[in-house]
Structure 1
């Protein structure tokens, strides 16, 4: 991929990179069919495809998932993610796009149709000096927040909207300090996040002592019952050591731990598209971006059984926020998500 390619519509490039057959998209006839009010034709109602919904032997809710509304980062439509989550037997799925709720309307519609409990959240980008397009490894720190109830949803929406306006340019939200975020986001659960999260980043740069300080800062800002340590295993050689250290920090601080897969696409087959998106975001060729990318297609949805096996070194179970998977606004299920994690059975956040 370079800068002198023949003109290829993005829809054709996405189809080729995703390995999808060429079909006429009904959403693309006469209008884009997106959510923008500028289009003259409304997006038609979601119709669930025929698939076999499984019942997982291990209850598991994926709490960290990006759709393609995390522009040039996520590689699957919200509907694809909901369908794959239901096929795998997940008890719930959280959508946590970057700095906004852009994908939740389509996600909620699909989840309602296939009876998948939903959780809504966002991954906040802290400390951005400028928009990060053109960067192979974007800077800044991430804070993953999940709404526990409608009030939490409103608080996240209000906080993100203010940050987007404060940045005064697209792609550079400016958030207040961590204590101010804690005051503004009372009805949320905070996960320590991916390698860009404040705690994992401090662990990588400054070791356990620095990570413990960052974890204390989160606890001071959000209270102990709203902070959860997140473990992610993408088969990177350093994942095991990092997860061991994070689990030890959680034990020392008396915090719960939770396993996620930091999902960026529904299935492994979407990795080719994710790679192309990363190259476009970084303004690099595929060869140039290769060294910055994961070595394998690991950032996809997984079943509870696979996650339990992947995190067998951390026996136990963490039960998600009591209000997270209730029926607002898209499902009628009253089941609560459960995630296999933890060295000891932690308490449910209140």
Structure 2
């Protein structure tokens, strides 16, 4: 998309106004943009998730999109993962990659959306990757064109995904602050192990950037950068990316990249460098770019792409645009097929609980429960609540059959720490239905005496571990968090994120700022926004005096992710470095690391 566009030299501006030598004037199928590049695709229009109806298969050559930013590129993508998946299926794509900036924020939602449609008979391969920001001196916010260059990485397989998560985690932590990743290029070259595919990327990629420098040194410099990539990652793992965005300079740039690829003996593939699902979302994407740069659309005008071409295209559209690059379409589809895999195979397990005396987790859990149940209910021969010990035995059998003894031991260990430290801690929710939880002191309600049903908490048909929520007094919660880090290792534990999405007041302020309104106006409008709705989908009072373009843009921004926060108490503990499952980054709070996934995405 237009984010990170450079200043436009006058001679280039003049050339593009003239439409450039050898450029195709036709807008092509699937777009309403003429030579100006600013047709109705740029207008902000309300858009809901489109019904998934494939275009006629007979007219659709296979196609896959391998460079795609979701709304989890945080103000550099205008469509959620579910929208992108739905559009990809509707356009007949065989596979889709999500390649957000420096993270895997969208991956669970992306995988879930594809799985839901797969269950409805719509097959879409899922490819997982990221666009890494190299050589960036500071966080990107507030800068129209941040320094540094991009490296687009696709995971070939599960091992490639783990390695990519690992290097993103290392870079995020090396940055020393929230929002800044610092990559060690030597470590990247060592980390791939043949499990990644490297694309030369957008204009911020090293090869296109060198080429765009122009003059006599443009092509030689680009050739050197391409040779360096092949040397770092292996020629068989580097693909030269041809970007199709209906931009006047597309053919000139792609012709040069094709010649460079041929000279280096490398293959070309194609992408649309997607930043939104469909053409009507282009204006929203531009507004988000302005918000990220803390500027108005007018101030950003020279930095924003005029073509509005960063959307998902069908195979028919791409076949038309790639006629002059034989084989690029087919190679893209083949690469996507080779890199597709199901996300569920990545799921981690809990760490082994350190059992004293060398026993098993099951034997230790049974021993602990037997000891503590006597205190709660009395000995088996003289129990104070009839049937209590029999109920505990049944629950322990279910827990053992489902392989959850370690889960209960970990929760009990946290409760034990709180008790010994004098920290108020109380289990709640459906865990109150468990006599085992009551015996261990996790909950304080006797489920046997009150006739509560254990199966509401845990049963043989349950998918995933039980849900035990612990309420811990907020003033001392940090002590418990740091205990978990010490007990299981900072590498194997992290707090889960809280994705901060746009709400009416925040959306109104940012939309108004992007459209050039003054702070005083924004304050006045924001004061009139409350929690209630004023009509179907209407969150701003109709008599608030807010201009329609502002309310329309603010409405489209609702629920888009704006930035990553931290959940007040949710933590993940893994049997392996958690950064191999989901990248970890610094939270704003000192000493805390946070996963890039929301709590609900970690379930």
Bucket of the pairwise TM-score, normalised by the shorter protein: 0.7 to 0.9
What is the match of residue 52 of structure 2?
A: 51
Residues 275 and 217 (structure 1), Cα distance of their counterparts in 2 relative to 1, 3 Å cut = same
Q: Tell whether 2:337 aligns with 1:329.
A: no
2:127·2:336 contact (CA, 8 Å) conserved in 1?
A: no
What is the match of residue 225 of structure 2?
A: 214
List 4+ stretches of structure 1 deviating above 4 A. Answer: none
Residues 85 and 261 (structure 1), Cα distance of their counterparts in 2 relative to 1, 3 Å cut = same
Partner Cα separation in structure 1 for residue 180 and residue 45 of structure 2: 29
Shift of 1:324: 1.1
What is the match of residue 181 of structure 1?
A: 188
What is the match of residue 104 of structure 1?
A: 107
Q: Alignment length, in residue pairs? A: 288
What is the match of residue 345 of structure 1?
A: none
Partner Cα separation in structure 1 for residue 86 and residue 163 of structure 2: 28
Counterpart among 15, 19, 42 of residue 46 in structure 2: 19
Larger radius of gyration: 2
Counterpart among 139, 164, 188 of residue 172 in structure 2: 164
Partner Cα separation in structure 1 for residue 45 and residue 177 of structure 2: 32
Partner Cα separation in structure 2 for residue 231 and residue 275 of structure 1: 22
Shift of 1:328: 3.8
Q: Tell whether 2:231 aligns with 1:191.
A: no
The structure carrying a bigger helix percent of its residues is: 2
Q: Secondary structure at the match of 2:133?
A: strand
2:239·2:268 contact (CA, 8 Å) conserved in 1?
A: yes
Shift of 1:321: 5.6
What is the match of residue 127 of structure 1?
A: 135
Structure 1, unpaired ranges of 5+: 1-15, 22-47, 331-350
Partner Cα separation in structure 1 for residue 262 and residue 145 of structure 2: 31
Shift of 1:233: 2.2
1:122·1:146 contact (CA, 8 Å) conserved in 2?
A: yes
Deviations 1:90-128 (A, max 9, x none): 000000000000001001000011122100000000000
2:50·2:87 contact (CA, 8 Å) conserved in 1?
A: no
Partner Cα separation in structure 1 for residue 152 and residue 202 of structure 2: 9
TM-score w.r.t. the length of structure 2 is 0.46
Q: Secondary structure at the match of 2:300?
A: helix
What is the match of residue 297 of structure 1?
A: 308
State the superposition RMSD in angstroms. Answer: 1.7
2:66·2:336 contact (CA, 8 Å) conserved in 1?
A: no
1:61·1:93 contact (CA, 8 Å) conserved in 2?
A: yes
Shift of 1:180: 2.5
Partner Cα separation in structure 2 for residue 235 and residue 73 of structure 1: 19
Structure 2, unpaired ranges of 5+: 1-42, 119-123, 346-603
What is the match of residue 94 of structure 2?
A: 91
Greater relative contact order (CA < 8 Å, ≥ 6 in sequence) = 1
Counterpart among 63, 67, 90 of residue 66 in structure 2: 63
Residues 138 and 328 (structure 1), Cα distance of their counterparts in 2 relative to 1, 3 Å cut = same
